[in-house]
Amino acid sequence: MAWSSSELTSAVRTIVIRIVKATFTEPKYMNVNNYPHPYGIFIAGNDLGTASQSYLYCAAYGNGRFIVRGFGPGAFQMNGFQGDANAAVHKAAGVGQPVTQEIAMTVKGSKVECAINGTVVASYDKSALVTAGKLSQRTEFMASASRITRK
């Protein structure tokens, strides 16, 4: 069977994958707080630097839980108020003990995924994120990391 150039052109698809990954070490878990505090990365946003900015992020806690949320005028929670527990999220041995998390967010096609320590802990279709009250249609899926520095 022979392929014509028009058939080949229609068969070839370009897949764009965007990924951001960062490793966070909390040297002394809950050293300055009496509650766990998350740290993580964001990968999507719009109108950044303005009063109407919004963005999507995934963050881990040193107690084995994680959250996927959006900030902005229309803040939203993708996995509930307290997030979810997952065996992939490392737990500190105790208060004042170190804990390290590798957090990655990937955008591939219509899927947005959060992976912690090499395991996908959450996956969403873009249509669940780019909608009224969440991210706008002109959202740019980019890459950035944020962290909390503790002394």
pLDDT score for 139:
54
71: domain CATH number is 2.60.120
- Give domain status of residue 6, yes or no: no
CA atoms within 13 A on the CB side of 24: 28
Residue 101 has pLDDT above 50, yes or no: yes
Is pLDDT larger for residue 119 or for residue 56?
119
Residue 100 lies in a domain: yes
Q: What whole-number distance in Å separates Cα of residue 70 and Cα of residue 57?
A: 6
Q: Is residue 2 part of a domain?
A: no
Q: Is residue 12 part of a domain?
A: no
Domain that holds residue 26: 20-146
Global pTM?
Answer: 0.78
Domains identified in the chain, total number: 1
The CA distance from 32 to 133, in Å, is 34
Residue pLDDT, tens place only, 18-32: 788 999 999 999 998
